Amino acid sequence: MDKISYEYTFGMDDTDIDDILREHEVGVLALADDSTAYAVPVAFHYDGSSLYIRLTSDGSSTKMAFLEATADACLCLYDIERADTYWSIIVRGPLQELSDEEQSAFDETAVNESFRQLPVFDQDVEALDVEIYELEMEAVTGRERGT
């Protein structure tokens, strides 16, 4: 029987993690309700100190129900350039809805400048509420191979 192949990855330094968070705009947000997990791709904006996640709801959103039940969320970013060249970053911490004052800083212009275009799926755009949350970056881990 053949042995399973392994390759070592290496921890990323804070500067590389910071650069990637600034350059990228989409990740997978993982939420949990007791023993049930839910993961969804989301747009995010990192300003160098805070990580903001843009969410939408039409009043019947599964992600919003899971968000309310989640104590600590997890945002995963990754890229695979080749089989031997890849990286991943995991950011963990509580998600906090911005206060009304903080939310007002993200007017339509700021949302459009800070986040990629908003994809909608068979939804009435007028019925969507855009909400910005801050993911408190309690734990940030980056791994890479071959970069």
Asked, for residue 40, whether it belongs to a domain, the answer is: yes
Tell me how many domains the chain contains.
1
Parent domain of 41:
10-145
User: Phi and psi dihedrals of 84, rounded to 5?
Assistant: -110, 10
pTM: 0.85
What type of residue is 142? G
pLDDT in tens, the chain (147 residues): 688 888 888 999 999 999 999 999 999 999 999 999 999 999 999 999 999 998 877 677 888 899 999 999 999 999 998 878 899 999 999 999 888 888 888 887 887 787 776 665 666 566 567 888 999 999 999 999 985
**Residue tagged 């049930």 (tokens):** 36
CA angle 13, 16, 21 (to 5 degrees): 125
Look at residue 44 and tell me if it is in a domain: yes
List the one residue out of 70, 54, 77, 52 whose CA is nearest residue 134: 52
DSSP state of 83: T
